[in-house]
Amino acid sequence: MLKKVDSSQLKVGMYIHDLSCDWMTHPFVRNRFLISSTDEIRKIINAGIHDVVIDSAKGLDVEDAPTLAEAQAATEREIVEIVAKAPVQTRVSLGEEMQRAVQIRHQASTLVRSVMQDARLGKAIELDQVQPVVQNITESILRNPGALVGLLRIKTKDDYTFLHSVSVCTLLVAFCRSRNIPADITHQAGLGGLLHDTGKALVPDKILNKPGPLTDEEFAIIKKHPEDGYNILKQSPEIGPIPLDITLHHHERRDGSGYPSKQANDEISELAQMAAIVDVYDAITADRCYHKGMSAAAALRKIYEWSKFHFNPQYAQEFMRCVGIYPVGTMVLLESGRLGVVVEPHETNLLAPKVNVFFSTKKNVYIKPETVDLSRGLGFGGGDKIVGHESPAKWNVDPMRFLTVAA
Protein backbone atom coordinates (compact mmCIF):
# COMPACT_ATOMS: atom_id res chain seq x y z
CA MET A 1 0.00 0.00 0.00
CA LEU A 2 1.26 3.47 -0.89
CA LYS A 3 1.32 5.88 2.03
CA LYS A 4 2.45 9.46 2.52
CA VAL A 5 4.77 9.97 5.49
CA ASP A 6 6.84 12.77 6.97
CA SER A 7 10.58 12.43 6.38
CA SER A 8 11.09 12.42 10.16
CA GLN A 9 9.22 9.08 10.28
CA LEU A 10 11.60 7.29 7.92
CA LYS A 11 13.45 4.22 9.13
CA VAL A 12 15.94 1.78 7.64
CA GLY A 13 13.91 -0.94 5.94
CA MET A 14 11.22 1.33 4.47
CA TYR A 15 10.75 1.31 0.70
CA ILE A 16 10.71 4.73 -0.98
CA HIS A 17 8.16 4.79 -3.80
CA ASP A 18 8.36 8.53 -4.55
CA LEU A 19 10.64 11.20 -3.10
CA SER A 20 7.86 13.73 -3.73
CA CYS A 21 10.08 16.45 -5.16
CA ASP A 22 10.96 17.85 -8.57
CA TRP A 23 13.68 15.92 -10.38
CA MET A 24 16.25 18.71 -9.92
CA THR A 25 15.96 18.61 -6.12
CA HIS A 26 16.83 15.12 -4.95
CA PRO A 27 20.42 13.82 -4.83
CA PHE A 28 19.62 10.16 -5.48
CA VAL A 29 20.47 8.18 -8.59
CA ARG A 30 17.04 6.53 -8.43
CA ASN A 31 13.61 7.61 -7.23
CA ARG A 32 12.51 4.24 -5.79
CA PHE A 33 14.67 2.23 -3.39
CA LEU A 34 14.81 0.38 -0.09
CA ILE A 35 16.38 2.52 2.65
CA SER A 36 19.47 0.64 3.73
CA SER A 37 21.20 3.16 6.02
CA THR A 38 20.61 6.17 8.25
CA ASP A 39 22.90 8.12 5.88
CA GLU A 40 20.25 7.80 3.16
CA ILE A 41 17.61 9.20 5.52
CA ARG A 42 19.91 12.08 6.43
CA LYS A 43 20.52 12.73 2.73
CA ILE A 44 16.77 12.94 2.09
CA ILE A 45 16.22 15.42 4.94
CA ASN A 46 19.26 17.53 4.00
CA ALA A 47 17.91 17.82 0.45
CA GLY A 48 14.88 19.66 1.83
CA ILE A 49 12.51 16.75 1.19
CA HIS A 50 9.87 16.93 3.91
CA ASP A 51 7.52 14.11 2.96
CA VAL A 52 7.78 11.00 0.82
CA VAL A 53 5.62 8.15 -0.43
CA ILE A 54 6.45 4.70 0.90
CA ASP A 55 5.25 1.30 -0.28
CA SER A 56 4.35 -0.75 2.78
CA ALA A 57 4.13 -3.90 0.64
CA LYS A 58 7.87 -3.69 -0.06
CA GLY A 59 9.18 -2.44 3.28
CA LEU A 60 8.34 -1.30 6.79
CA ASP A 61 5.01 0.46 7.41
CA VAL A 62 3.81 3.54 9.30
CA GLU A 63 0.42 2.34 10.52
CA ASP A 64 -1.27 5.67 11.21
CA ALA A 65 -0.02 7.36 8.02
CA PRO A 66 -2.66 8.32 5.42
CA THR A 67 -2.73 6.41 2.16
CA LEU A 68 -1.50 8.29 -0.90
CA ALA A 69 -5.07 8.38 -2.26
CA GLU A 70 -6.40 9.87 0.99
CA ALA A 71 -3.64 12.51 1.09
CA GLN A 72 -4.21 13.46 -2.55
CA ALA A 73 -7.99 13.67 -2.12
CA ALA A 74 -7.60 16.00 0.87
CA THR A 75 -5.21 18.21 -1.09
CA GLU A 76 -7.54 18.26 -4.12
CA ARG A 77 -10.41 19.52 -1.96
CA GLU A 78 -8.26 22.35 -0.62
CA ILE A 79 -7.08 23.28 -4.11
CA VAL A 80 -10.62 23.39 -5.49
CA GLU A 81 -11.61 25.82 -2.73
CA ILE A 82 -8.63 28.03 -3.56
CA VAL A 83 -8.85 27.94 -7.36
CA ALA A 84 -12.52 27.42 -8.24
CA LYS A 85 -13.40 31.10 -8.39
CA ALA A 86 -10.85 33.44 -9.93
CA PRO A 87 -11.49 36.23 -12.45
CA VAL A 88 -10.20 35.63 -15.99
CA GLN A 89 -9.85 38.51 -18.43
CA THR A 90 -9.38 38.24 -22.19
CA ARG A 91 -9.55 40.91 -24.87
CA VAL A 92 -9.82 38.67 -27.94
CA SER A 93 -10.91 35.09 -28.56
CA LEU A 94 -8.53 32.14 -28.52
CA GLY A 95 -9.00 31.69 -32.27
CA GLU A 96 -8.09 35.31 -32.95
CA GLU A 97 -4.92 35.12 -30.87
CA MET A 98 -3.74 31.64 -31.86
CA GLN A 99 -2.07 32.56 -35.17
CA ARG A 100 -0.11 35.36 -33.52
CA ALA A 101 0.80 33.05 -30.65
CA VAL A 102 2.25 30.48 -33.08
CA GLN A 103 4.51 33.16 -34.57
CA ILE A 104 5.56 34.46 -31.15
CA ARG A 105 6.37 30.93 -29.93
CA HIS A 106 8.62 30.36 -32.95
CA GLN A 107 10.24 33.80 -32.67
CA ALA A 108 10.95 33.40 -28.97
CA SER A 109 12.32 29.85 -29.13
CA THR A 110 14.58 30.84 -32.04
CA LEU A 111 15.86 33.78 -30.00
CA VAL A 112 16.61 31.63 -26.93
CA ARG A 113 18.48 29.16 -29.13
CA SER A 114 20.57 32.07 -30.48
CA VAL A 115 21.19 33.41 -26.95
CA MET A 116 22.42 30.00 -25.82
CA GLN A 117 24.75 29.76 -28.82
CA ASP A 118 26.18 33.22 -28.13
CA ALA A 119 26.70 32.27 -24.49
CA ARG A 120 28.63 29.15 -25.50
CA LEU A 121 30.86 31.31 -27.68
CA GLY A 122 31.48 33.77 -24.84
CA LYS A 123 29.53 36.60 -26.49
CA ALA A 124 27.52 39.15 -24.49
CA ILE A 125 23.72 38.87 -24.74
CA GLU A 126 22.29 41.52 -27.07
CA LEU A 127 19.31 42.79 -25.08
CA ASP A 128 18.01 44.92 -27.96
CA GLN A 129 17.07 41.62 -29.63
CA VAL A 130 15.49 40.19 -26.49
CA GLN A 131 13.37 43.18 -25.43
CA PRO A 132 10.94 43.08 -28.41
CA VAL A 133 10.29 39.36 -27.90
CA VAL A 134 9.37 39.90 -24.25
CA GLN A 135 7.10 42.73 -25.34
CA ASN A 136 5.38 40.49 -27.91
CA ILE A 137 4.84 37.79 -25.29
CA THR A 138 3.43 40.37 -22.86
CA GLU A 139 1.03 41.77 -25.44
CA SER A 140 -0.17 38.25 -26.32
CA ILE A 141 -0.83 37.53 -22.63
CA LEU A 142 -2.82 40.76 -22.37
CA ARG A 143 -4.94 39.82 -25.39
CA ASN A 144 -5.58 36.18 -24.42
CA PRO A 145 -3.21 34.32 -22.07
CA GLY A 146 -4.61 30.94 -23.00
CA ALA A 147 -3.28 30.93 -26.58
CA LEU A 148 0.44 31.14 -25.90
CA VAL A 149 0.28 29.25 -22.59
CA GLY A 150 -1.67 26.46 -24.31
CA LEU A 151 0.75 26.22 -27.21
CA LEU A 152 3.73 26.07 -24.89
CA ARG A 153 2.37 22.98 -23.17
CA ILE A 154 3.72 20.99 -26.12
CA LYS A 155 7.47 20.46 -26.06
CA THR A 156 9.78 17.78 -27.44
CA LYS A 157 13.02 16.62 -25.88
CA ASP A 158 14.91 18.40 -28.68
CA ASP A 159 13.40 21.84 -28.08
CA TYR A 160 12.64 21.57 -24.35
CA THR A 161 15.56 23.73 -23.15
CA PHE A 162 14.52 26.60 -25.41
CA LEU A 163 10.74 26.33 -25.02
CA HIS A 164 11.07 25.96 -21.25
CA SER A 165 12.61 29.43 -21.14
CA VAL A 166 9.80 30.80 -23.31
CA SER A 167 7.23 29.11 -21.05
CA VAL A 168 8.79 30.52 -17.87
CA CYS A 169 8.77 34.01 -19.41
CA THR A 170 5.13 33.62 -20.51
CA LEU A 171 3.88 32.19 -17.23
CA LEU A 172 5.84 34.72 -15.17
CA VAL A 173 4.38 37.62 -17.16
CA ALA A 174 0.89 36.17 -16.69
CA PHE A 175 1.60 35.68 -12.97
CA CYS A 176 2.78 39.27 -12.60
CA ARG A 177 -0.27 40.52 -14.47
CA SER A 178 -2.61 38.53 -12.22
CA ARG A 179 -0.93 40.11 -9.17
CA ASN A 180 -1.25 43.62 -10.65
CA ILE A 181 2.51 44.18 -10.69
CA PRO A 182 3.42 47.37 -12.63
CA ALA A 183 4.10 46.98 -16.35
CA ASP A 184 7.76 48.05 -16.23
CA ILE A 185 8.57 45.54 -13.48
CA THR A 186 6.56 42.84 -15.29
CA HIS A 187 8.67 43.45 -18.40
CA GLN A 188 11.89 43.07 -16.40
CA ALA A 189 10.53 39.88 -14.84
CA GLY A 190 9.75 38.61 -18.34
CA LEU A 191 13.35 39.28 -19.35
CA GLY A 192 14.49 37.31 -16.34
CA GLY A 193 12.16 34.45 -17.22
CA LEU A 194 13.37 34.28 -20.83
CA LEU A 195 17.04 34.39 -19.80
CA HIS A 196 16.92 32.51 -16.49
CA ASP A 197 18.53 29.32 -17.84
CA THR A 198 21.23 31.01 -19.92
CA GLY A 199 23.86 29.31 -17.75
CA LYS A 200 22.75 25.93 -19.08
CA ALA A 201 24.58 26.85 -22.27
CA LEU A 202 27.74 25.85 -20.40
CA VAL A 203 26.37 22.47 -19.28
CA PRO A 204 27.46 19.62 -21.58
CA ASP A 205 24.59 18.26 -23.68
CA LYS A 206 25.28 14.72 -22.46
CA ILE A 207 24.38 15.89 -18.94
CA LEU A 208 21.58 18.28 -19.91
CA ASN A 209 19.81 15.62 -22.00
CA LYS A 210 20.82 12.54 -20.04
CA PRO A 211 18.00 9.96 -20.28
CA GLY A 212 18.25 9.00 -16.63
CA PRO A 213 19.05 10.25 -13.12
CA LEU A 214 22.19 12.35 -12.62
CA THR A 215 25.20 11.25 -10.61
CA ASP A 216 26.39 13.47 -7.74
CA GLU A 217 29.11 14.90 -10.00
CA GLU A 218 26.67 15.64 -12.82
CA PHE A 219 24.19 17.18 -10.38
CA ALA A 220 26.95 19.49 -9.10
CA ILE A 221 27.61 20.67 -12.67
CA ILE A 222 23.90 21.35 -13.26
CA LYS A 223 23.71 23.34 -10.01
CA LYS A 224 26.30 25.78 -11.35
CA HIS A 225 23.98 27.11 -14.05
CA PRO A 226 22.40 29.95 -12.02
CA GLU A 227 25.81 31.47 -11.24
CA ASP A 228 27.06 30.85 -14.77
CA GLY A 229 23.97 32.53 -16.20
CA TYR A 230 24.37 35.47 -13.82
CA ASN A 231 27.97 35.96 -14.92
CA ILE A 232 27.04 35.73 -18.60
CA LEU A 233 24.24 38.30 -18.27
CA LYS A 234 26.48 40.69 -16.34
CA GLN A 235 28.52 41.09 -19.52
CA SER A 236 25.61 43.08 -20.96
CA PRO A 237 25.92 46.54 -19.34
CA GLU A 238 22.24 47.38 -19.95
CA ILE A 239 20.94 44.36 -18.03
CA GLY A 240 18.89 45.32 -14.99
CA PRO A 241 18.93 43.94 -11.44
CA ILE A 242 15.65 42.00 -11.79
CA PRO A 243 16.74 39.63 -14.60
CA LEU A 244 20.06 39.11 -12.79
CA ASP A 245 18.27 38.30 -9.53
CA ILE A 246 15.85 35.86 -11.17
CA THR A 247 18.67 34.13 -13.03
CA LEU A 248 20.80 33.73 -9.92
CA HIS A 249 18.10 32.80 -7.42
CA HIS A 250 15.31 30.87 -9.20
CA HIS A 251 16.46 27.65 -7.49
CA GLU A 252 16.44 29.05 -3.95
CA ARG A 253 13.84 27.64 -1.55
CA ARG A 254 12.25 29.26 1.50
CA ASP A 255 13.48 26.54 3.86
CA GLY A 256 17.09 27.25 2.80
CA SER A 257 17.46 23.96 0.91
CA GLY A 258 17.95 25.57 -2.52
CA TYR A 259 21.01 26.83 -4.37
CA PRO A 260 23.38 28.54 -5.04
CA SER A 261 23.22 30.75 -1.91
CA LYS A 262 20.85 28.74 0.34
CA GLN A 263 18.78 31.87 0.84
CA ALA A 264 15.75 31.41 3.08
CA ASN A 265 12.33 33.03 3.58
CA ASP A 266 12.28 36.69 2.57
CA GLU A 267 16.00 36.77 1.84
CA ILE A 268 14.72 35.60 -1.56
CA SER A 269 13.16 38.45 -3.53
CA GLU A 270 9.46 38.43 -4.41
CA LEU A 271 10.11 37.98 -8.15
CA ALA A 272 12.70 35.24 -7.63
CA GLN A 273 10.19 33.39 -5.44
CA MET A 274 7.56 33.76 -8.16
CA ALA A 275 10.03 32.59 -10.81
CA ALA A 276 10.89 29.53 -8.70
CA ILE A 277 7.22 28.45 -8.68
CA VAL A 278 6.82 29.02 -12.41
CA ASP A 279 10.09 27.23 -13.21
CA VAL A 280 9.14 24.09 -11.25
CA TYR A 281 5.56 24.05 -12.58
CA ASP A 282 6.68 24.13 -16.20
CA ALA A 283 9.44 21.57 -15.61
CA ILE A 284 7.21 18.97 -13.98
CA THR A 285 4.38 19.33 -16.52
CA ALA A 286 6.71 18.72 -19.49
CA ASP A 287 7.61 15.35 -20.97
CA ARG A 288 11.34 14.72 -20.74
CA CYS A 289 13.49 11.81 -21.81
CA TYR A 290 13.79 10.77 -18.14
CA HIS A 291 10.30 11.45 -16.77
CA LYS A 292 6.69 11.80 -17.90
CA GLY A 293 5.12 15.21 -17.46
CA MET A 294 2.31 15.60 -14.91
CA SER A 295 -1.12 16.98 -15.63
CA ALA A 296 -1.73 20.58 -14.60
CA ALA A 297 -3.86 19.38 -11.66
CA ALA A 298 -1.15 17.01 -10.38
CA ALA A 299 1.48 19.73 -10.77
CA LEU A 300 -0.62 22.23 -8.84
CA ARG A 301 -1.08 19.64 -6.10
CA LYS A 302 2.71 19.31 -5.88
CA ILE A 303 3.19 23.10 -5.85
CA TYR A 304 0.61 23.37 -3.09
CA GLU A 305 2.24 20.62 -1.02
CA TRP A 306 5.73 22.04 -1.51
CA SER A 307 4.56 25.53 -0.57
CA LYS A 308 4.54 24.41 3.06
CA PHE A 309 8.33 24.50 2.94
CA HIS A 310 9.80 25.50 -0.42
CA PHE A 311 7.56 28.27 -1.72
CA ASN A 312 5.70 31.24 -0.31
CA PRO A 313 2.20 29.80 0.34
CA GLN A 314 0.49 33.04 -0.69
CA TYR A 315 2.38 33.21 -3.98
CA ALA A 316 1.71 29.52 -4.63
CA GLN A 317 -2.04 30.00 -4.16
CA GLU A 318 -2.05 33.10 -6.36
CA PHE A 319 -0.20 31.18 -9.09
CA MET A 320 -2.73 28.37 -8.84
CA ARG A 321 -5.52 30.89 -9.41
CA CYS A 322 -3.54 32.39 -12.29
CA VAL A 323 -3.15 29.15 -14.29
CA GLY A 324 -6.30 27.40 -13.07
CA ILE A 325 -6.98 23.70 -12.60
CA TYR A 326 -7.78 23.28 -16.30
CA PRO A 327 -5.46 25.56 -18.31
CA VAL A 328 -6.13 26.06 -22.01
CA GLY A 329 -4.75 23.05 -23.89
CA THR A 330 -5.58 20.54 -21.12
CA MET A 331 -7.20 17.32 -22.33
CA VAL A 332 -10.10 16.24 -20.12
CA LEU A 333 -12.55 13.37 -19.89
CA LEU A 334 -16.20 14.36 -19.58
CA GLU A 335 -18.94 12.48 -17.75
CA SER A 336 -20.46 11.61 -21.15
CA GLY A 337 -17.32 9.65 -22.05
CA ARG A 338 -16.12 12.24 -24.54
CA LEU A 339 -12.60 13.63 -24.62
CA GLY A 340 -12.12 17.34 -25.07
CA VAL A 341 -9.48 20.03 -24.96
CA VAL A 342 -10.02 23.13 -22.81
CA VAL A 343 -10.23 26.19 -25.04
CA GLU A 344 -11.50 28.94 -22.76
CA PRO A 345 -11.78 29.33 -18.98
CA HIS A 346 -15.00 30.60 -17.48
CA GLU A 347 -14.76 34.20 -16.29
CA THR A 348 -15.43 33.30 -12.66
CA ASN A 349 -15.74 29.51 -12.33
CA LEU A 350 -12.51 27.78 -13.37
CA LEU A 351 -14.12 24.35 -12.87
CA ALA A 352 -16.50 24.96 -15.80
CA PRO A 353 -14.48 25.99 -18.88
CA LYS A 354 -15.43 25.77 -22.54
CA VAL A 355 -14.22 22.49 -24.01
CA ASN A 356 -13.88 21.31 -27.60
CA VAL A 357 -14.99 17.67 -27.58
CA PHE A 358 -13.54 15.55 -30.39
CA PHE A 359 -13.33 11.88 -29.35
CA SER A 360 -15.63 9.19 -27.92
CA THR A 361 -13.94 6.87 -25.41
CA LYS A 362 -16.98 4.58 -25.53
CA LYS A 363 -16.64 3.96 -29.28
CA ASN A 364 -12.89 4.72 -29.47
CA VAL A 365 -13.39 7.00 -32.50
CA TYR A 366 -13.07 10.68 -33.37
CA ILE A 367 -16.38 12.54 -33.42
CA LYS A 368 -17.44 15.79 -35.01
CA PRO A 369 -15.79 18.60 -32.96
CA GLU A 370 -18.23 20.51 -30.82
CA THR A 371 -17.77 23.32 -28.31
CA VAL A 372 -19.34 22.56 -24.94
CA ASP A 373 -19.75 25.31 -22.37
CA LEU A 374 -19.65 23.43 -19.07
CA SER A 375 -21.13 26.40 -17.19
CA ARG A 376 -24.42 25.94 -19.07
CA GLY A 377 -27.17 23.40 -18.64
CA LEU A 378 -28.39 20.67 -20.99
CA GLY A 379 -29.90 22.17 -24.14
CA PHE A 380 -27.94 25.39 -23.74
CA GLY A 381 -24.59 24.20 -25.08
CA GLY A 382 -23.59 22.45 -21.85
CA GLY A 383 -25.00 19.61 -19.79
CA ASP A 384 -21.76 17.77 -19.09
CA LYS A 385 -18.95 17.96 -16.56
CA ILE A 386 -15.27 17.12 -16.22
CA VAL A 387 -14.45 13.78 -14.61
CA GLY A 388 -10.67 14.24 -14.75
CA HIS A 389 -7.57 14.75 -16.85
CA GLU A 390 -6.61 12.29 -19.57
CA SER A 391 -3.30 11.58 -21.26
CA PRO A 392 -3.22 12.09 -25.05
CA ALA A 393 -0.74 9.19 -25.27
CA LYS A 394 -3.22 6.83 -23.58
CA TRP A 395 -5.75 7.37 -26.36
CA ASN A 396 -3.23 8.10 -29.14
CA VAL A 397 -4.90 11.40 -29.98
CA ASP A 398 -3.64 14.91 -30.66
CA PRO A 399 -5.82 17.38 -28.72
CA MET A 400 -3.89 20.38 -30.03
CA ARG A 401 -5.54 19.88 -33.43
CA PHE A 402 -8.78 20.96 -31.76
CA LEU A 403 -7.47 23.86 -29.71
CA THR A 404 -9.25 26.59 -31.63
CA VAL A 405 -12.97 27.03 -30.96
CA ALA A 406 -15.11 24.82 -33.12
CA ALA A 407 -17.65 26.46 -35.40
pLDDT computed for residue 381 by the predictor: 54
Q: Is the pLDDT of residue 81 over 60?
A: yes
Q: Can you tell me the mean pLDDT for 154-161?
A: 75
Q: Is the pLDDT of residue 26 over 70?
A: no
Q: What's the whole-model pTM score?
A: 0.85
pLDDT computed for residue 27 by the predictor: 60
What Å distances lie between residue 229 and 164, 192, 234, CA to CA?
Answer: 15, 11, 9
Provide the 8-state DSSP code for 288: -
Domain 94-323: CATH superfamily is: Hypothetical protein af1432 (1.10.3210.10)
- Average pLDDT over the chain, rounded to an integer: 88
Q: What are phi and psi of 46, to 5 degrees?
A: -65, -20
Task: Confirm if 321 and 82 have CB atoms less than 8 A apart.
Answer: yes
Name every residue whose Cβ is closer than 8 Å to that of residue 155 and which is 6 or more positions away in sequence: 163, 164, 167, 286, 287
Q: Rounded distance, CA 313 to CA 193, Å?
A: 21
User: Per-residue confidence at 85, pLDDT binned at 50, 70, 90?
Assistant: low
Say which residue, 157 or 281, is predicted with more confidence: 281
pLDDT by residue (tens digit) across 211-269?
Answer: 777 788 888 999 999 999 999 999 999 999 999 999 999 999 999 999 999 999 999 99
User: Per-residue confidence at 122, pLDDT binned at 50, 70, 90?
Assistant: very high
What Å distances lie between residue 205 and 68, 120, 201, 208, 250, CA to CA?
Answer: 36, 12, 9, 5, 21
Q: Rounded distance, CA 359 to CA 368, Å?
A: 8
Cα–Cα nearest to 383, from 336, 341, 342, 331 = 336
Task: Confirm if 322 and 384 have CB atoms less than 8 A apart.
Answer: no
pLDDT by residue (tens digit) across 390-400?
Answer: 888 788 888 88
- In residues, how long is the chain? 407
pLDDT by residue (tens digit) across 272-324?
Answer: 999 999 999 999 988 776 677 888 888 888 999 999 899 999 999 999 988 88
Q: What are phi and psi of 264, to 5 degrees?
A: -135, 150
3-state secondary structure 170-221: HHHHHHHHHCCCCHHHHHHHHHHHHHCCHHHHHCCHHHHCCCCCCCHHHHHH
Q: Is the pLDDT of residue 340 over 90?
A: yes
